[in-house]
Amino acid sequence: MDLTSSQLAALDRDGYLLLENRFSAKEVELINDRLPSLFAENHPGNIVEQSSGAVRTMMGLHLRDDLFARVVRHPRLIGPALQILREPAYVQQVKVNVKAAFSGEIWQWHYDFATHKEEDGVPKPLALNLHIFLDDVTEFNGPLYFIPGSHKFGEHGAFKDVETTSYQLWVCDQERVKKLIEAHGLVAAKGAKGTMLIFHDTMVHGSPNNMSPWDRAIFSLLLNPVSNAFQKQTRPDYKHQRDLTPIEMLPDDCLNVLPVVE
Ligand SMILES: O=C(O)CCC(=O)C(=O)O
């Protein structure tokens, strides 16, 4: 399940990598089956959209549900990250970003490291963002947009946006984004459900509103090297987990195995 040298080269060049058919339809169904009861929980990690009140993101899922505790240890998900990082890593953040049909709202242009540095005091942009598409993601239902190669420029400058969405984020200045897009273009990260996506901490990205009649849910795990751990504790655990235990891989069939009942 290791990435090939050409996949590693593409990730290094572009800052993101899509791996199609990484998870089976059955595995995605098992994950999706857990969502309704998690949506219904009155948990501070369930953050709703400003306008519609529909769930925008659900965080801390590996601490709330046994299946998600196994997803974050799945070798097909974390194997590539550990291959790239080549050192022990901890689970920094786990969420499902929902983006419901007709009402899912924008994620402004940003790069994740701005928030990790400013809010959590993470020293270096080493964390990797690992996604699993839980719905088919198309150009219509709010895919992530990437500026390929933008991760190569390190930090881009950012300010905290506390207004445009319900989830506060350090976002990029539009002039900076314009220059990067003019120089490097734009891509939409699309794929069928079960596709995996990896991207770097300084990759500039965002996503538009979902105007389509199709839901778009994406699972996201941030893995950060233990040696690069947070230095500040301003955010709740579900936004940046404090447990620095190095993550370990489970067997490949771990999602299909029923949890042991004691
Ligand atoms: O789910 C999305 O559309 C965007 C999510 C995102 O940008 C992030 O988690 O950093």
CATH number at residue 168: 2.60.120.620
**CA–CA separation, 27 and 48 (whole Å):** 26
Which of 16, 49, 58, 107 has most ligand 1 atoms within 8 Å of its beta carbon, as the pocket-test mutant?
107
Domain that holds residue 32: 5-228
Look at residue 259 in the predicted model and tell me its pLDDT.
Answer: 53
Residue 179: how many other CB atoms lie within 10 Å: 13
Residue 197: how many other CB atoms lie within 10 Å: 23
**CA–CA separation, 70 and 259 (whole Å):** 10
Domain count, the chain: 1
Report yes or no on 163 lying in a domain. Answer: yes
The letter for the amino acid at 261 is V
**Protein residue with least CA distance to atom 3, ligand 1:** 207
Ligand 1 atom with minimal separation from the 110 CA: 7
Model pLDDT for residues 69-125, shown as the tens digit of each residue? 999 999 999 999 999 999 999 999 999 999 999 999 999 999 999 999 999 999 999
The answer to whether 136 and 142 are in contact (CB under 8 A) is no
Report yes or no on 215 lying in a domain. Answer: yes
Report yes or no on 23 lying in a domain. Answer: yes
Instruction: Give Cα separations from 140 to 102, 207, 211, 213 (angstroms).
Output: 11, 11, 7, 9
DSSP at 67: H
Model pLDDT for residues 42-74, shown as the tens digit of each residue? 999 999 888 888 889 999 999 999 999 999 999
Length of the chain equals 262
The answer to whether 161 and 174 are in contact (CB under 8 A) is no
Report yes or no on 145 lying in a domain. Answer: yes
Strand order from edge to edge, sheet including 169-171: 159-161, 169-171, 107-110, 205-207, 144-146, 187-189
Look at residue 117 in the predicted model and tell me its pLDDT.
Answer: 96
The share of the chain scoring above pLDDT 90, in percent, equals: 85
Quick one: pLDDT band at residue 136, thresholds 50, 70, 90?
A: very high
Quick one: pLDDT band at residue 15, thresholds 50, 70, 90?
A: very high
Q: How far is the CA of 198 from the centre of ligand 1 (A)?
A: 12
Is the pLDDT at 229 greater than 80? The verdict is: yes
Q: Which residues contact 216 (CB under 8 A, 6 or more apart)?
A: 98, 99, 101, 104, 135, 137, 141, 142, 143, 210
Is the pLDDT at 261 greater than 60? The verdict is: no
The answer to whether 246 and 89 are in contact (CB under 8 A) is yes
Report yes or no on 252 lying in a domain. Answer: no
**Is 57's C-beta closer than 6 angstroms to any atom of ligand 1?**
no
Report yes or no on 119 lying in a domain. Answer: yes
Q: How far is the CA of 147 from the centre of ligand 1 (A)?
A: 14
**Is 141's C-beta closer than 6 angstroms to any atom of ligand 1?**
no
The answer to whether 217 and 98 are in contact (CB under 8 A) is yes
**Protein residue with least CA distance to atom 1, ligand 1:** 97
The letter for the amino acid at 74 is H
Beta strands in 32-121 (DSSP E): 46-48, 55-59, 89-97, 107-110
Q: How far is the CA of 24 from the centre of ligand 1 (A)?
A: 23
Report yes or no on 179 lying in a domain. Answer: yes
Mean pLDDT of 146-175: 88
Q: Among 12-16, 171-175, 215-219, which stretch is predicted with the lowest mean pLDDT?
A: 171-175
What is the model's pTM? 0.95
Report yes or no on 249 lying in a domain. Answer: no
Model pLDDT for residues 234-255, shown as the tens digit of each residue? 999 999 999 999 999 999 999 9
Is the pLDDT at 155 greater than 80? The verdict is: yes
Mean pLDDT of 162-180: 88
**CA–CA separation, 237 and 220 (whole Å):** 16
